[in-house]
Amino acid sequence: MEIHFLGTAASEGIPNVFCSCEICEQARSAPGKHRRTRSSALIDGRIQIDIAPDFTCQLLRDGADARKITHLLFTHTHPDHFNIGDLYSRMVGFGHGINQTLNLCGNDIAISECARLLSGYSQERFKLNLAVPFVTIERGGYRITPLLANHAVWEFCYVWFIEKDGKSLFYGHDSGWFPELTWQWLAGKHIDLTVLECTLGFNGETQPNNHMSIEAILAAQEKLKDLGCHNKNSQLVLSHISHNVKMNHQQLEEFMLSHGILVAWDGLKMEI
């Protein structure tokens, strides 16, 4: 499997266009890896996780092809992850020469909102799939399982476990410390690559709610080892990075490398 990080920022992006903090000013003056668009990822060019407000620009920047995407997995319905207005461009009369179905997978709120926005959609263009926590979906050689996140209180928020050809990816954001049911499901399952978020920076909490702190990332790294999920060949990568971490890419990368953790940037592709 290949994971392509289309975006690696938290909801504000880096720079936050309204912000004058040191991290945002650095991203304006020396963009490169310091500049981040809202988080989403593409697996093998076929499975999209979330659709960010920057979706079109991300695809054009990296030469990715939305026409090859067969599945769109939603983590939750916060607007930085659920920019479904762009899907209207796939409706009959707006997009032409479309000959495959896009499967939309998410919780009941996500699927209901898709049905409302795409009212009158053609079933040749879209298929709406209600994802149930811990129930595996098998499609095209992939095993895709939504696990529970610790995030918003008004909806089931998901993190995703994806398997193919003996390889496994755990895409673990948006979430604070994972619910016990998710830890129990993960126990004993080998993970080749785990993606965690880095939204809060240092805050003294190892098990925060809603988002992860740096302390929580390090605690989760140890928990994954203790549960038998990670071995010496497993990789841990950070995305969904906020300017509130108060480190630019280079500073965060240097700190995390000392813990054996990688820091993703926009456009990064990794082979699993």
**Rounded CA gap, 1 and 41, in Å?**
12
240 conformational bin, left if phi > 0, alpha if psi -120 to 50, beta if neither: left
- For the chain, the domains span 2-271
pLDDT at position 13: 98
**Predicted confidence (pLDDT) per residue in 182-206, tens digit:** 999 999 999 999 999 999 999 999 9
pTM: 0.97
**Predicted confidence (pLDDT) per residue in 86-131, tens digit:** 999 999 999 999 999 999 999 999 999 999 999 999 999 999 999 9
pLDDT at position 30: 87
**Rounded CA gap, 264 and 240, in Å?**
9
- Asked if pLDDT for residue 31 goes beyond 90, the answer is no
**Predicted confidence (pLDDT) per residue in 210-262, tens digit:** 999 999 999 999 999 999 999 999 999 999 999 999 999 999 999 999 999 99
Residue holding tokens 């595996």?
136
**Rounded CA gap, 122 and 11, in Å?**
31
Which residues in 51-75 are b (16+ Cβ under 10 Å) and which e? bbbbbeebbeebebebeebbbbbbb
DSSP class of residue 266 equals: T
Name the CATH architecture for the domain at 2-271.
4-Layer Sandwich (3.60)
- Asked if pLDDT for residue 36 goes beyond 90, the answer is yes
